Amino acid sequence: MLYRLREAGFSTRVYEAADGVGGTWYWNRYPGARCDSESIYYNYTFSEELYREWTWSSRYPEQPEILRYLNFVADKFDLRPDIQFETRVNAAHYDEETKRWQIELNDGTSVSAKYFITGVGCLSASNLPKFNGLENFKGEWYHTGHWPHHKVDFTGKRVGIIGTGSSGVQAIPVIAREAEHLTVFQRTPQYSAPARNHPYDLEYIKRSKENFLEIKKQMRESQGGQPVEVPTKSALEVTSEERQQKFEEAWQTGGQGIFTSYYDITVDPKANETASEFIRSKIGEIVKKPEVAEKLKPTYYYGTKRPIIDTDYYETFNRDNVSLVDVRTNRIEEITDNGLQTTEAEYELDVLVFATGFDGMTGPLLKIDIRGKDGVSLKEKWKGGEDTRTYLGVANAGFPNFFMITGPESPSVLSNMPVSIEQHVEWIGDCIEYMRENNIDTIEAKVDAEEAWSKHCREVAEATLFTKTDSWYTGANIPGKPRRFLIYLGGGGAYRQKCAEIAANGYEGFSLEAASEPVTG
């Protein structure tokens, strides 16, 4: 966004809490952290030169490599001089007199800006559940989303980990290899498929670079931001042998192939059950102790929590130094001086890892006191989350000249993030340029356009199984958070087209107010 606006001649300033670039890939440094989009598609596409200059080592690179990529981008485009690091935005208030945003920083200073854009991510407000007694724990404890920069040494230590989402599933096999003993405290078992990561061969990389324009087009037009074959068949219209073969091929190839095997996997409970049962049977085959295998078998609709890909996750439970505690039946009562007390036992621990996720989607936005017209805050407008509504996931009625990159009710986390980020960046950049060219002072979503978009989002989501599961997608992971599904499921390609049409029609659904004087940067 910085590069896009700077190139267009706007004076632009970025505020960043960390002391470096990278966002998610800066904070999530836990052992085993890696991407689950294929790396040749996990790129910016605004610059062919950048695409050609960077070479990924493997299909699903680890966090340090992705962070190196983001630093490479920052250096290549000389972004750092316009980023103020180690600075949090505490508040942003719209002033109706001046039609400008007053932005309060945590160093006590404030800035005035014509436009206010958030790039706070969907998963940056970490969730540390309120367990009694954490302050008494004498060992070390860490959250996967705020991992320290130094290496955490697990050698010879008794480690406990709470949480088996994507972060836990990635960290558990790596920690288990180092720790004396690892106890996994699991609330909900997860479906996970093998990543089967492998180094890229040079010929494959060369071809992808030569085909950049075609790959870029496919990424942009596709449903999920990656050129994946779109399933045309129902899981229920094929024989069980054919289905089994398809799932088996996906399992052997590794990655998200089961999720994209049939079009009704996340729509029809019976179709879903075929995929769910396939993964459960794999767990039964891999995990040697039947009672452990049973505890690891999920029952929710496969794919309605973020589908996970792993390296040796289920296999790890065959190790002698790993034990599994089901905290649904054996509830966590408190953290003690020496470990963790459940209803059935006390577990002595030297290190406790919280892989307990994030207050997703709205969490990062609501950490900032954002106020639009009449001093109304985003929190008030969204009724504390009961009534979160946006126009296209990018704008809000009552909040002129405020844009959200991958905000609630855009495809965001159910698409390949770099593609969705770039689409918003380009759309917002084009919009601000349009305003300058047409001497428009403010742009604001109309209430009825916002209402219609939000309703459309809900209808698309309600037609799927996603809304039926407790997950961070639905906000059910945060005690007291109203349940809303805030991801647009109509597909990234179709969404891109819709946003482009709205812009081409003179920003349909927005009120544009002409400036009395020429608009500058």
Residues lying near ligand NA7 in the complex (CB under 6 A): 123, 129, 144, 162-168, 187-188, 306, 327, 355-358, 413, 472, 477
Structural element, H or E, at residue 498: helix 492-504
Shortest gap between Cβ of 111 and ligand NA7 (angstroms)? Answer: 31
Residue whose CB is less far from ligand NA7, 363 or 372: 363
Shortest gap between Cβ of 518 and ligand NA7 (angstroms)? Answer: 44
Q: How far apart are the first and last CA of the chain?
A: 14
Amino acid at 43: N
User: What residue is closest to ligand NA7 based on CB?
Assistant: 165
**452, 76 Cβ separation under 8 angstroms:** no
Given phi > 0 = left and psi -120 to 50 = alpha, else beta, which region is 375? left
Shortest gap between Cβ of 341 and ligand NA7 (angstroms)? Answer: 14
Shortest gap between Cβ of 358 and ligand NA7 (angstroms)? Answer: 6
Shortest gap between Cβ of 149 and ligand NA7 (angstroms)? Answer: 19
Residue whose CB is less far from ligand NA7, 144 or 223: 144
Give the distance, in angstroms, between the CA of residue 365 and the centroid of all CA atoms in the same chain. 14
Question: With b meaning 16 or more CB within 10 Å and e meaning fewer, what string describes 40-52?
Answer: bbbbbbbeeebbe
Shortest gap between Cβ of 201 and ligand NA7 (angstroms)? Answer: 28
User: Directed axis angle between helix 212-221 and helix 492-504, to 10°?
Assistant: 90
Residue in the structure block whose two tokens are 């040749």: 40
User: DSSP 3-state assignment of 170?
Assistant: helix
User: DSSP 3-state assignment of 76?
Assistant: helix
Residue whose CB is less far from ligand NA7, 243 or 305: 305
Residue whose CB is less far from ligand NA7, 129 or 482: 129
Residue 154 buriedness (CB in 10 A; 0-12 / 13-18 / 19+): buried
Which residues, 6 or more positions from 239, have their beta carbon under 8 angstroms from its beta carbon?
A: none
**189, 213 Cβ separation under 8 angstroms:** no
Residue whose CB is less far from ligand NA7, 36 or 264: 36
Amino acid at 356: T
Shortest gap between Cβ of 97 and ligand NA7 (angstroms)? Answer: 41
Residue whose CB is less far from ligand NA7, 42 or 472: 472
Residue whose CB is less far from ligand NA7, 403 or 473: 473
Six-digit token string for 151: 């290496």
Shortest gap between Cβ of 193 and ligand NA7 (angstroms)? Answer: 14
Residue whose CB is less far from ligand NA7, 355 or 392: 355
Question: Helix-strand-coil percent breakdown of the chain, rounded to 5?
Answer: 35, 20, 45
